[in-house]
Amino acid sequence: MPKKISDLAVARVPALADCISLFQSKLAIAHYAQGSITDYCHALYKAVVHIGKLPEEFTQEDVDGYFLSMLSRKPVPAEAQFKHFVYGLKCYLRSMDYPDLAGLALPKIRREKKLPRILSVEQVKLLLRTCELYSKALFSIIYDCGLRSFEVCNIKWNDISFDRCQVHIKKGKGGKDRIVPISPKTLKVLAAYRKENPSTSLVFKAFGANKGIDNSFIRKRLRRALDMAGLDTSLTVHSLRHSYATHLLESGEDIQTVQQRLGHKSVSTTMIYLHLAKVEKHQCVYLIESIFS
């Protein structure tokens, strides 16, 4: 079985184990989101495997060489991987009281700007009809509430108001809370799911364990469900969120409301879905008609 990247990094630089443990503790005390802690540490592990030094020993030459190795890969890694490394290293140096690297910045990555891939309403319907109850409940709430993977992993039963048809998303991206509506039909699915999977804490737990699910669990389950439904198995969990936003706009929801539901900081981020949504254009409006009437 292949070793995890953390094992490889510690095997190459044994002192890293204690350093990362202390770093994780400092971030937890500072109330960083668990997703950010995981992403930062994972990025540092990969860099240590390549460079062969502790993060505080990285030089500008080391960092530049690491960036070049990433940029030379085909395909070039996602921009998020560069961000996790840069922000993670900066956070590490700052948290551990080491001087920052003056030239540490994101490299310019030239890549085509592609629109998100989405499912049609009929494809979402087919997917949910094919699923057994556990997956149906999981994917229904992701799509119906436009959730990110880590957000659904953290949902507890007391975050869901069955009376008010709302879900309280706690510590979403950027550590922000938001309230999103949830359909009565999704609530019925969740109620049936809860009878088979009784719990007073987390809504979704890993099978045979008293702990929550993770992103990997959701990805594998979605791939299996897509395959059973005869749909494209390369679609991702985030495709459900993209589909939700697009379908809202196609149903007449305004862009600001979609922004709030998604938890986007800026409406410009939400604007991308206007390129995907098939929205009927109104007939030409003649404002002066009302003046002369």
Catalytic residue list: 148, 173, 238, 241, 264, 273
Provide the CB-side half-sphere exposure for 101 (13 A, CA). Answer: 22
Q: For residue 110, what are the CA distances in angstroms to 75, 81, 90? A: 12, 15, 23
In sequence order, which residues have a C-beta less than 8 Å from that of residue 74 and are 6 or more positions away? none
- Nearest partner of 148 among 229, 244, 84, 228, judged by Cα: 244
Report d(CA 54, CA 51) in Å as an integer. Answer: 9
With beta carbons less than 8 A apart as the criterion, state whether 179 and 196 touch: no
- Residue 271's Cα: distance from chain center in Å? 18
Containing H/E element for 160? strand 160-161
The neighbouring-strand residues paired with 168 are 179
Helix (H) or strand (E) holding 214: none
**What is the spatial order of strands in the sheet that 160-161 belongs to?**
160-161, 166-169, 178-181
